[in-house]
Amino acid sequence: MKHLRYLFAISLMLMSFNCSNAQSDKGKGEVIVMDKAEFLAKIYNYEKNKEEWVYEGDKPCIVDFYADWCGPCKRVAPIMKELAAQYNGDVLFYKIDVDNEKELASVFGITSIPTILFVPVKGKPQAALGALPKETLVEQIEKFLLANK
C-alpha cells in the first residue's frame, strides 16, 4: 500500500510538470490560415491599391501558398510552425490554400507550390519557389525581413 501511495505521488508530480510545460507553449507563434478577406485586410489590398504594393501590416510576414495534397508543402508545414514559434512577436506566419483561394493564387501568379512570399514592412515582397530548407528560410528572415529592425 505504501508503494501505491508513492507511485501515485510521483504520477501526480509528473502530470503537473507535463501540464505546466503545455501551458508554457501557449502564446507561441502559429501559422494562420488566411482567406481572401483576411489577406486584403492584413497583407495587401490589391482591389484598393492597384498600382503599387502597400503592406497593410505592422510586422513583417511570410505567406506560404500551399495545397493539402502537395507533398513538398507537407514537408514545409512543420518547418513553418517551428519558425513561427521561433520568431513569435517579430514575424507573422500565414498560409493560403491555393485550392480554396484561387483568386489569390491567380493574382500572385502562383503556378508552383509551395510558393513562399516574404513580406517586409517597407518595400516589396520577394517570392521563393519550392520546399526550402529551414536554414534558407532563416537566412531570408534574418537578411530580408529583419535586417532593418
Residues noted as catalytic: 70, 73
Query: Given the C-alpha cell 502530470, which residue does it identify?
Result: 15
Do the bridges between strand 31-33 and strand 92-97 make them parallel or antiparallel, or are there none, so unpaired? parallel
Burial class (CB in 10 A: 0-12, 13-18, 19+), 3: exposed
At 47, give phi and psi (nearest 5°): -75, -35
Give residues with Cβ within 8 angstroms of 81, minimum separation 6. 30, 31
If one counts every other C-beta atom within 10 angstroms of the C-beta of residue 2, the result is: 6
Q: How far apart are CA 124 and CA 74, in angstroms?
A: 27
Residues in the chain: 149
